Structure 1
Amino acid sequence: MMNIKKSLRIGLLKCDSFVPDIKNKFGDIDTQFKNLLNSNTKSMDIDLSVFEVANDQFPSKEECLDRQKFQGFIISGSKSSVNDDKDWIKKLKEYIRFFSENNVKTIGVCFGHQAIATALGGKVSLNPKGWTVSDYRIDYINDSNFDKENPLVFNDIVKQQQKQQQQSSSSSSHLNIICINKEIVTDIPKDFKIFAKNERSDNQAMYFKNQFYSFQGHPEYTPELIKATILSRRGIIPDDVIEDGVNRANNSNIDKSTFANGMIDFFVEK
């Protein structure tokens, strides 16, 4: 029987661009998200429309509410801080509040994760542990009430590990994700749930009903991309952190298709 592909239309609110050397080698931020989403194993075609919001290029609010045009939005990472006093960041947060009021599905990644938090009443601060870069494990927080709502990334992992957990004392389901950040969400918006943490931060991922879903890390990054990125930031990121990050990237254990599948589940489930 022929496998007929379905289509998903997503808007990417692109909050930055890579420096020319990185862009020339790997493509820009939108290329990373296209590659990530196209790694899905759900026979889903992805139509990704890119909006350069850092250049004040936003979709119209009418477009945002048209479910035939967009099934949801992704907010990308950025070298900017969500606490910066920039007009486009203020406008982005206003859009996030508009999304909240109108039940527009939204995924946030790194800066996007933090923008969602601050737009909706949370707080972002410097991480006292300093920079977090490259491949890190994140652990699923087991919450039986949340589990009933969660259609996301960890579902397959939880199912795969249930048998192992029944036979061992371990109750941790986990994934690896690539990170590059020195700020973290320290207070979450009302009624949000944190569903992943690690040694670097108690909030590595958060979720609100079936509307907001966000990661502190970068599921779209590859090990080679993060190596090139951190090496380009010598003088900004400490040398010992860069060295550790390169080592982590060389031994990376990320599974992009699992993240892609979870993101697609989020957008398609009612």
Structure 2
Amino acid sequence: MKIGILKTDDVRKELVGEFGEYPEMFADLLRDQDPGLEFNTYEVQHGQYPAQIDEVDAYLITGSKTGVYDDKPWIPPLMDFVRKLHDEKKPTIGICFGHQLIAQALGGRARKSDKGWGLGVHTYEMQETPNWMSEPAPNFSLLVTHQDQVDELPPGGRVLASSEFCPMAMVQVDGHMLSFQAHPEFTKPYSNSLMELRRKAFGEAVVDKGQESLKNDIHENAVARWMLEFLRK
């Protein structure tokens, strides 16, 4: 399977040398489950798109520091492309910004949450077990860095997992789009370094709480298997 990564941001320059860019993080995560996967990266933040929608088998939209509601010239074309993916029923995964973008592009809504920043390890309760999921679990934990959230589902969307902090944390739209607010591609060292780098922006107390949560387990490998199962179903 060949996955097209729609890259919507760059890793902070202070961290990229140690941790790589987002497409590398996703490739590492998913190739741990299937070493035969192939990836194409499209710098959609710079206007780069596939020449044909079917030059890859599926798509993955990365996270970004940008909000889906921000006035950036590259966001409307990306929303148009997401609508095209939806019309063509192309298997698509959205992560963080990608999660919010799918909702916003298809008639839902994402906005800045009044709950503030979510950092570190968050746990989500499954609300529904879809039939494509071969290893269901009552809950799972992943790393997060977000202030924006989806607060209105698009038509055809349903919540698969949620938390008190993030009620729409894992969403499926019809049979071909799956999105997560959390970051299965993040590692604990990367999350810790990002929190430390942005300590003043996030706030001391929020960072301290987030760093303390790194003691908890995360289930990135199980979620990676879910992602691949969904794309292949």
TM value normalised by structure 1: 0.83
1:156 and 2:135 are equivalent in the alignment = yes
1:96 is paired with a residue whose SS is helix
1:259 and 2:192 are equivalent in the alignment = no
1:90 match: 76
Distance 1:73 1:244 in 2: 34
Report the identity percentage.
27
Distance 1:212 1:263 in 2: 10
Give a deviation string over 1:4-60, Cα, whole Å, max 9, x none: xxxx100000100011111011111111101110121xx551101111111111112
2:20 match: 27
Structure 1 runs, 4 residues or longer, greater than 4 Å off: none
Q: Give the count of matched residue pairs.
A: 233
Q: In the alignment, is the contact (CA less than 8 A) between 1:38 and 1:260 conserved in 2?
A: no
1:18 match: 11
1:182 match: 147
Q: CA RMSD in A?
A: 1.3
Distance 2:35 2:171 in 1: 25
1:230 and 2:195 are equivalent in the alignment = yes
Distance 2:25 2:106 in 1: 27
1:106 match: 92
1:55 match: 46
Q: In the alignment, is the contact (CA less than 8 A) between 2:154 and 2:173 conserved in 1?
A: no
Kindly state the Cα deviation for residue 157 of structure 1 after the two structures are TM-superposed.
3.2
For structure 1, the residue ranges without an aligned partner over 5 or more in a row are 1-7, 159-172
2:232 match: 268
2:136 is paired with a residue whose SS is helix
Kindly state the Cα deviation for residue 191 of structure 1 after the two structures are TM-superposed.
1.7
1:73 match: 59
Q: Of the two, which has the highest radius of gyration?
A: 1
TM value normalised by structure 2: 0.96
Give a deviation string over 1:133-153, Cα, whole Å, max 9, x none: 1111111003xxxx4x5313x
For structure 2, the residue ranges without an aligned partner over 5 or more in a row are none
Distance 2:216 2:23 in 1: 22
Kindly state the Cα deviation for residue 196 of structure 1 after the two structures are TM-superposed.
0.4
